[in-house]
């Protein structure tokens, strides 16, 4: 932190009185602005990490069995209240600092205990008893599963918010899993999952990282996924009230499946404003232009749309309310993982919403397979769908389904646009190369990044069935290997290398993780 602060202080434009800072900062070059923002973010992350450690110490000392009630003696009911009063931040921020700091101290205690056991001769299996001696991502005997998170935070590879998102999303390893895996194998599975999420954290919004962590947990523990879904379903509610000014309010707590339906409805109604696909019929284009020019806010449009649906109910024709595209929720299930059932007959598998990848338990998948049917998309060992047509200029609806299965949304780095907001891009230019409209030569891109690619000198290439590669404009840097955003990509891209155990094989942990 000291070194970073010194580098910031060396910048003449910043080394001024605070009153002169806004004017002086405008003299920075574009690159200096970017570099300074990155350096400042690193300083903030260092300070936040230190703050979290000290919050953990305060929480530890507030336990009566430790050193007396540290918080109560200072007039606060809890460590969270104490930290909030000092930092002046929100209660949620203070609670996160206490959670992260407490987790760091707890890991240290367990690591020390494991190291003592190994030093005393209780180990001997070749593992690493000292957290500092472990290779990145490895877990030694006696170490907690979240040791990789501990290392990544202290090394500066994770922020406190990212650490908290992964820790809370994965939760604690289950005591018992399908297939009779040992507790050590389960612990290793959670640790590998944490390590993989650490690798994905850079450039990933915290909200998205939290969702990915929850999705991975459901894949590792499909029985628990069913129970967690049931708890959220029980929490569903709708409450209405009138405030003192006579304004009516309604608060809805959704279950998972209906939340996806509501989001699909709003997406269908607001897509033109949010940058949906450009390739429309004349009628669709006119309707989209009318919506863009509408004087209402997005929130007002969403409200009016929702009320129209409530009034119309099941009698409305889809086109009367939704326009060109009727909303729906398409679910993706890895077929090879479907089959085993629990004692209650529920499917032990985890599916995903095609848009955004939300995990859905087997009972929801089972019911929808019965109610609305399914469409098979066959992929090879690298996740490449089979072609369904190559003679026409634009991708067919079936091909777009296959692209959504493979890419999971806009494939551009760090973009989180779902598949329904994307356009199919030809890697082989149609006008110049007469490129084929084949799935293995196309990717999903949101409207913004599709335009950026065509207008700013970017291009995407692929060598046979290898990864898609994004090439920057000439002179702007090295190419970027593109990765699928699909939550189910584990089916063709299992993360652990061969020497990291066999926990992903059928029967080792769960059917959903096989």
User: Given pLDDT bands bounded at 50, 70 and 90, which one contains residue 500?
Assistant: very low
pLDDT at 165: 93
Q: What is the pTM assigned to this prediction?
A: 0.64
Residues of the chain by 3-state class (helix, strand, coil), percent to 5? 50, 10, 40
pLDDT at 136: 47
How far apart, in whole angstroms, are the C-alpha atoms of residue 127 and residue 427?
Answer: 46
Residue 472 · residue 458 · CB < 8 Å: yes
Burial 371-392 (b: 16+ CB within 10 A, else e): eeeeeebebeeebbbeebeeee
Mean pLDDT across the stretch 168-185? 75
**Percent of the chain's residues with pLDDT above 70:** 71
What is the separation, in whole angstroms, between the first and last Cα of the chain? Answer: 43
How far apart, in whole angstroms, are the C-alpha atoms of residue 57 and residue 151?
Answer: 18
User: Given pLDDT bands bounded at 50, 70 and 90, which one contains residue 281?
Assistant: low
How far apart, in whole angstroms, are the C-alpha atoms of residue 366 and residue 451?
Answer: 40
The SS3 assignment for 271 reads: coil
* Non-local CB neighbours of 27 within 8 Å, separated by 6+ positions: 13
Min mean pLDDT across 24-33, 265-274, 424-433 is at: 424-433
How far apart, in whole angstroms, are the C-alpha atoms of residue 119 and residue 113?
Answer: 10
How far apart, in whole angstroms, are the C-alpha atoms of residue 201 and residue 211?
Answer: 12
- pLDDT for residue 454 is more than 80: no
Mean pLDDT across the stretch 172-197? 79
Instruction: Write phi, then psi, for 142 (nearest 5 degrees).
Output: 85, -10
Q: In what order do the strands lie in the sheet with 359-361?
A: 331-332, 350-353, 359-361
Min mean pLDDT across 53-57, 82-86, 88-92, 498-502 is at: 498-502
pLDDT at 124: 42
Mean pLDDT across the stretch 262-277? 77
- pLDDT for residue 312 is more than 70: no
User: Given pLDDT bands bounded at 50, 70 and 90, which one contains residue 503?
Assistant: very low
Tokens at 474, concatenated: 């000439």
User: Given pLDDT bands bounded at 50, 70 and 90, which one contains residue 210?
Assistant: very high
Instruction: Write phi, then psi, for 205 (nearest 5 degrees).
Output: -55, 145
Instruction: Find, among 81, 7, 17, the residue nearest to 37 by Cα.
Output: 7
pLDDT at 307: 80
pLDDT at 113: 62
Tokens at 489, concatenated: 């990509």
Min mean pLDDT across 93-102, 334-343, 469-478 is at: 334-343
Mean pLDDT of the chain: 76
Residue 158 · residue 198 · CB < 8 Å: yes
SS (H, E, C) 233-259: HHCCEEEEEECCCCCEEEEEECCHHHH
How far apart, in whole angstroms, are the C-alpha atoms of residue 214 and residue 210?
Answer: 6
- pLDDT for residue 309 is more than 70: yes
**pLDDT tens figures, 108-143:** 777 666 555 555 554 444 444 444 445 444 555 567
Is the pLDDT higher at 490 or at 158? 158
How far apart, in whole angstroms, are the C-alpha atoms of residue 286 and residue 373?
Answer: 34
DSSP secondary structure string, 346-404? -B--EEEETTTT-EEEHHHHHHHHHHH------B-TTSPBPP---SSSSPPHHHHHHHH
- pLDDT for residue 2 is more than 90: no
Angstrom distances, CA of residue 72 to CA of 100, 238, 314, 318, 381? 21, 38, 58, 60, 59
C-alpha dihedral (139, 145, 146, 147), degrees to nearest 10: -20
Is the pLDDT higher at 430 or at 207? 207
- pLDDT for residue 103 is more than 90: no
Alpha helices in 221-270 (DSSP H): 222-234, 256-270
Instruction: Find, among 327, 330, 346, the residue nearest to 338 by Cα.
Output: 346
Mean pLDDT across the stretch 288-316? 76
* Long-range contacts from 450-456, C-beta under 8 angstroms, 24+ separation: 450/423, 450/425, 453/425
Residue 147 · residue 155 · CB < 8 Å: no
pLDDT at 111: 65
pLDDT at 393: 42
Is the pLDDT higher at 42 or at 500? 42
Min mean pLDDT across 22-31, 160-169, 438-447, 473-482 is at: 438-447
- pLDDT for residue 253 is more than 90: yes
**Percent of the chain's residues with pLDDT above 90:** 10
Region at 330 (left for phi over 0; alpha for psi -120 to 50; beta for the rest): beta
Angle between helices 79-87 and 30-61 in degrees, nearest 10: 150
Mean pLDDT across the stretch 486-498? 67
Mean pLDDT across the stretch 435-445? 74
- pLDDT for residue 391 is more than 50: no
Mean pLDDT across the stretch 317-334? 56
Instruction: Write phi, then psi, for 251 (nearest 5 degrees).
Output: -120, 130
How far apart, in whole angstroms, are the C-alpha atoms of residue 267 and residue 109?
Answer: 48
* Non-local CB neighbours of 39 within 8 Å, separated by 6+ positions: 4, 7, 8
DSSP 341: B
pLDDT at 306: 84
pLDDT at 315: 53
pLDDT at 273: 73
User: Given pLDDT bands bounded at 50, 70 and 90, which one contains residue 329?
Assistant: low
């Amino acid at each position: 932190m000291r070194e970073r602060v010194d580098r910031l202080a060396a910048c003449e434009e910043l080394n001024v009185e605070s009153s002169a800072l806004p004017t002086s900062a405008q003299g920075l070059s574009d690159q200096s602005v970017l570099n300074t923002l990155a350096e400042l973010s690193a300083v903030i992350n260092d300070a936040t990490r230190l703050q979290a450690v000290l919050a953990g110490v305060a929480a530890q000392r507030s336990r009566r069995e430790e050193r007396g009630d540290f918080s109560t003696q200072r007039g606060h009911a809890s460590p969270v209240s104490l930290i909030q009063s000092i930092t002046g931040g929100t209660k949620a921020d203070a609670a996160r600092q206490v959670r992260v700091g407490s987790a760091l101290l707890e890991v240290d205690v367990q690591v020390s205990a494991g190291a003592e056991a190994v030093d005393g001769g209780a180990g001997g299996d070749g593992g690493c008893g000292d957290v500092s001696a472990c290779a990145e991502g490895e877990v030694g005997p006696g170490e907690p599963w979240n040791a990789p998170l501990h290392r990544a935070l202290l090394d500066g590879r994770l922020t406190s918010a990212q650490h908290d998102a992964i820790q809370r999303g994965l939760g604690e390893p289950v005591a018992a899993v399908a297939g009779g895996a040992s507790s050590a194998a389960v612990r290793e599975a959670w640790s590998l999952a944490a390590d993989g999420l650490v690798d994905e954290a850079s450039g990933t919004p915290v909200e998205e990282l939290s969702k990915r962590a929850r999705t991975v947990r459901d894949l590792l523990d499909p029985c628990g996924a069913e129970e967690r879904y049931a708890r959220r379903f029980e929490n569903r509610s709708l409450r209405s009230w009138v405030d003192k000014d006579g304004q009516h309010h309604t608060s809805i707590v959704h279950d998972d499946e209906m939340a996806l339906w509501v989001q699909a409805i709003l997406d269908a109604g607001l897509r033109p404003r949010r940058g949906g696909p450009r390739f429309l019929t004349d009628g669709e284009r006119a309707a989209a232009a009318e919506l863009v020019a509408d004087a209402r806010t997005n929130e007002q449009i969403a409200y009016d749309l929702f009320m129209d649906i409530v009034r119309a109910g099941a009698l409305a024709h889809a086109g009367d309310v939704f326009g060109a595209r009727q909303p729906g929720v398409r679910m993706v299930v890895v077929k090879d993982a479907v089959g085993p059932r629990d004692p209650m007959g529920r499917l032990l598998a985890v599916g995903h919403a095609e848009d955004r990848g939300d995990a859905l338990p087997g009972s929801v998948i089972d019911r929808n397979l019965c109610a609305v049917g399914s469409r098979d998309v066959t992929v090879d060992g690298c996740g490449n769908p089979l072609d369904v047509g190559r003679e026409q200029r634009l991708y067919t609806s079936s091909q777009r389904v296959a692209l959504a299965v493979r890419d999971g949304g806009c494939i551009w780095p760090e973009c989180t646009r779902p598949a329904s907001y994307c356009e199919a891009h030809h890697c082989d230019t149609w006008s110049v190369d007469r490129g084929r409209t084949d799935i293995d030569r196309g990717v999903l891109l949101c409207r913004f990044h599709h335009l950026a690619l065509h207008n700013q000198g970017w291009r995407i290439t692929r060598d046979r069935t290898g990864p898609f590669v994004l090439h920057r404009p000439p002179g702007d840097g090295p190419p970027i290997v593109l990765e699928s955003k699909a939550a189910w990509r584990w089916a063709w891209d299992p993360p652990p290398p061969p020497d990291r155990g066999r926990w992903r094989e059928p029967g080792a942990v769960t059917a959903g993780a096989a």
